[in-house]
Amino acid sequence: FIGLAMSRSTITTLSAPREQLIRIQRTLARRLRDEIHGSLEDPSPDLRAYQREYFRSFRGRVGRRIGQTAFFERLSAADLVFQGEYHTLSACQEAALWILRGISRRRRVVLCTEAVPIEGQLALDAYLARECGEAELLEAIDYAAAWGFTWTSYAPIFRFARDEEVQVYGLSSPPGGGDENIRSRDERAAEVIARAAASHPDALVYVIAGDFRVCRLHLPRA
């Protein structure tokens, strides 16, 4: 409101440093973006095709807003729910926990997540049964190497599952497979999801995976 009382010349004088700062920030942001792009390897042809399929699957589709009650009613009526997430964005994990809490009040839930490798299922089961703690779980599944994203973002989901006796299954394949094997990783994850659904026929299977994997042509189709 102070600015409204200033003369035009005063506003111009005060805005010049701010405009200069914005230009500097834009330059730094552009340089940082170029450095990031330069440090990344070019995606394989298969991964580029995989990405194109993802973007095409949502092209022209416009969602509509619904209320919270309707939202949970629709989710709870499903047998399988797929949630795409950005692994580095904690808001995605917070949203997943919020949704899981809401669904679990209405229906039994089984969780499948990429945060644990398929081969780490025994260690995950031990954690859920309170036979080991978080530190032991992370060491057993080699979390830092196999997943590596911030544990503090994912820990509340696992604590919720343990406290509420929600069965959890790991979905990720061993690291080092390369981008060219992403479709085979979808198939291996799909086998786990199918087994979870068959083992818990009355439960809703809630799947959390990377955003590119959650389109009808990818993990859900597999």
Question: Which pLDDT belongs to residue 181?
Answer: 81
What confidence score (pLDDT) does residue 40 get? Answer: 52
pLDDT tens, position by position, 48-86: 899 999 999 888 777 788 999 999 999 999 999 999 999
Q: Give the pLDDT of residue 14.
A: 46
Task: Tell me the β-bridge partners of 204.
Answer: 109
Cross-strand partners of 205 = 80, 110
The secondary element (H helix, E strand) that includes residue 72 is: helix 68-76
Question: DSSP characters for 124-188?
Answer: HHHHHTTSS-HHHHHHHTTHHHHT-S-HHHHHHHHHHHHHTT--EEEEEPPTT--GGGHHHHHHH
List the single range of 52-61, 122-131, 155-164 with lowest mean pLDDT.
52-61
Band of residue 41 on the pLDDT scale cut at 50, 70, 90: low
In this structure, how many other beta carbons lie within 10 angstroms of the beta carbon of residue 188?
16
Whole-angstrom Cα Rg for the chain = 22
- Nearest residue to 54 (alpha-carbon basis) of 174, 201, 206, 183: 183
Distance CA 79, CA 107 (A): 11
Q: In 68-96, which positions are buried (b, 16+ CB within 10 angstroms) versus exposed (e)?
A: eeeebeebbeeeebbbbbebeeeebbeeb
In this predicted model, which residue has the larger pLDDT, 89 or 3? 89
